[in-house]
Structure 1
Amino acid sequence: SQLYQLRGRVGRSNRVAYAYFTYRKDKLLGEVAEKRLSAIRDFTDLGSGFKIALRDLEIRGAGNLLGAEQHGHIAAIGFDLYCRLLEEAIKERRGEKKPDTPDPTIEVEMDAYISGHYIDDPAQKVEIYKKIAAITSLAEADEVEAEIEDRFGDLPEEVRNLIEIARFKVLAKQLGINSVSTERGEIVARFLPGLAQDAERIAALLIKCRGQVRFQPGRQQIIRWRTTRQSSAELWKLIKDSLLYLLGEKNSI
């Protein structure tokens, strides 16, 4: 980023100028240095500083924050948990209190990202990611989904999955679900320890969704949805309808 700032100070108004960065011919450049110089060479348009900053983050090990490829710390713990921990750390530094009911951790094995083919501008990607991350109700999810489709066209499956995960998080938090993960062909939701669900609703749900939903009682109750033999759209509908049913909307299933 410092090299980029230096390059930006060359040339004024209508005067064309060129910036040359050189190094000794016997100097052995490391892989990181090569990548940084390549980024300076590749991003030449006005306002490329944001793209340079993103590439620098990727080189440092944060992964491609705006695409499918993830590595570094994000790959180790997952994008959702990484962002949640980062947000908590920022709030702690600011002296802000943590919320009484934490957001559920959601780590499911499915493509959920915004590809460069759908939105190629990094700034617009960040804007949309922020809108999705800020969703706190089903109505907001519907509004964000409609806005994205209106601005960028039909949602590809991986973007739709992002919206569905946001809906899932809204309902999961209302039910006291602590974490959601993928295990052996099932999406598994764990409730907060000691939090019991309505037994009659659980029994009715299992009857209505026989073979698709399983429930595990105990101090930490668990609900499981089968992911096989159905599309992602059908799976998300089943999950959303199940959670709405547990919240008291009897006509959801």
Structure 2
Amino acid sequence: MALAGIRDLSVIQTPPEERLPIKTFVTADDDDLIKEVIQRELQRGGQVFYVYNRVQTIKKAEERVRRLVPQARVVVGHGQMPESTLADVMVKFVKGEADVLVCSTIIESGLDIPNANTIVVVDAHRMGLAQLYQLRGRVGRAGQRAYAYFLYNPLRSHSENADKRLDVISELHDLGSGFKLALKDLEIRGAGNLLGVEQHGAIAAVGLELYNSMLRDAVESQKTGTPVEMPAGLTLDLPIEHFLPREYVPDEKLRLQVYHDLAAVVDEQGLEAAERNLADRFGKPPGPVRNLVYALRVKLLARAAGIAAVETDGDWLVMRLPAGWNGDERRLESQFRSILYVRFGKVRISMTQAGAQWKERLLDVLGEIERLGRIAVAV
């Protein structure tokens, strides 16, 4: 309801005083790494959570820790232990009489042990995102630098969603990022029908951002009693390669973010700013990137003119005039007499006649269609 504007949304982004972000690592399970991590924490007088969430074989996890770090004082705690035994283990760890607590996810909430500032989570790919976030929150509670290691088995394949969860937990490690992480979790898992009883809905199909936008529009429509007009899609088929080459933006996630930012541009001023930003961040844009900016410029002009599609048909560029367009077709033809003609509401531009300047001519034609349409409305 808060996302849709029905209720106000308050986000607490200010961490407690002197709290530091937890350094988070997602990496393959490795004996040498575990040994180094535990020894480093013990050398600075701290304690370690070693999370192993299979109670049936947790004894093997304890033996592994003892073998890797013989000098460490190791205790085991999990939810299937007798209550009194578990209480004794926890008291011992809290008092600092043990260095490493080998445990299940029983520790994920309700614990505040200031001296425990390293957590190692084995088979992290098996756990949910909220669970990983809660486990990470067990360390770094006393103003000291804390470390969280989420380990996965490199010899076994795991699901795409597991990869996404690990990516998110490694990226969102700043203080106050819990809300962002919750939104990512919602997007990965999918969500139910917000206005019904089904536990699956349309979010996974359209993406959380678009779903929220559609939901806001629906709520606004109910408030005002006026249907919300959905923006029409625009088909663009140009005889040019327009994309971000891997060599220009090597990082895949960053490349997707750049695409997202470019898609959000709504006017020429924003497009020029985006073009400058590309050059500043990644250097002089190659041909496909310049073509991508050009294609976005065509979209902006076409949308302003009410054109729904700009397509290639052999040596011709073809676009249909918008319904209700009352501009002067003859004037349009005379303006571009050697390269353009209009028949049955379709504008056809000859790229052969336009020659090397066909890109500029297309922009000119779109601008003129928009201008003539405005003149007709004014009259």
Could you say which TM-score interval applies, normalised by the shorter chain?
A: 0.5 to 0.7
Q: Are the structure 2 counterparts of residues 21 and 87 from structure 1 closer, same or farther at C-alpha, using a change threshold of 3 Å?
A: closer
Q: Partners of 2:185 and 2:281 in 1: how far apart?
A: 26
Deviation readout 1:88-126 (Å, 9 max, x if unpaired): 624423416677795562342665444554343746853
Deviation readout 1:138-166 (Å, 9 max, x if unpaired): 34433332232223212234433342233
CA-CA distance at 1:192 after TM superposition:
1.9
Q: Partners of 2:350 and 2:213 in 1: how far apart?
A: 32
Q: Partners of 1:166 and 1:7 in 2: how far apart?
A: 44
Contact 1:112–1:161, Cα closer than 8 Å, also in 2: yes
CA-CA distance at 1:240 after TM superposition:
0.5
Contact 2:217–2:228, Cα closer than 8 Å, also in 1: no
Query: Residue 105 of structure 1 aligns with which residue?
Result: 234
Identical positions, percent: 16
What one-letter code is carried by the residue in structure 2 that aligns with 1:222? K
1:224 pairs, out of 329, 335, 348, with 348
Q: Are the structure 2 counterparts of residues 42 and 125 from structure 1 closer, same or farther at C-alpha, using a change threshold of 3 Å?
A: closer
Q: Partners of 2:358 and 2:132 in 1: how far apart?
A: 46
1:34 pairs, out of 145, 159, 162, with 159
Structure 1: 5+ residue stretches without partners: 23-28, 61-71, 75-81
Considering only aligned residues, what root-mean-square deviation do their CA atoms show, in Å?
Answer: 4.9
> 1:195 is paired with a residue of what secondary structure?
coil
1:174-213 aligned within 5 A: 174-177=304-307, 179-185=308-314, 186-209=316-339, 213=340
Q: Partners of 2:187 and 2:205 in 1: how far apart?
A: 12
Q: Are the structure 2 counterparts of residues 180 and 141 from structure 1 closer, same or farther at C-alpha, using a change threshold of 3 Å?
A: same
Q: Partners of 1:88 and 1:52 in 2: how far apart?
A: 18
CA-CA distance at 1:239 after TM superposition:
1.1
Q: Are the structure 2 counterparts of residues 140 and 187 from structure 1 closer, same or farther at C-alpha, using a change threshold of 3 Å?
A: same
Contact 1:114–1:159, Cα closer than 8 Å, also in 2: yes
What one-letter code is carried by the residue in structure 2 that aligns with 1:134? V
Q: Partners of 2:287 and 2:212 in 1: how far apart?
A: 27
Per the normalisation by structure 1, the TM-score is 0.57
Q: Partners of 1:170 and 1:239 in 2: how far apart?
A: 12
Q: Partners of 1:101 and 1:38 in 2: how far apart?
A: 34
1:109-124 aligned within 5 A: 111-115=241-245, 117-119=247-249, 120=251, 122=253
Aligned pairs, how many? Answer: 214
2:217 pairs, out of 71, 78, 92, with 92
Higher-Rg structure is 2
Matching of residue 168 in structure 1 with residue 291 in structure 2: no
Per the normalisation by structure 2, the TM-score is 0.42
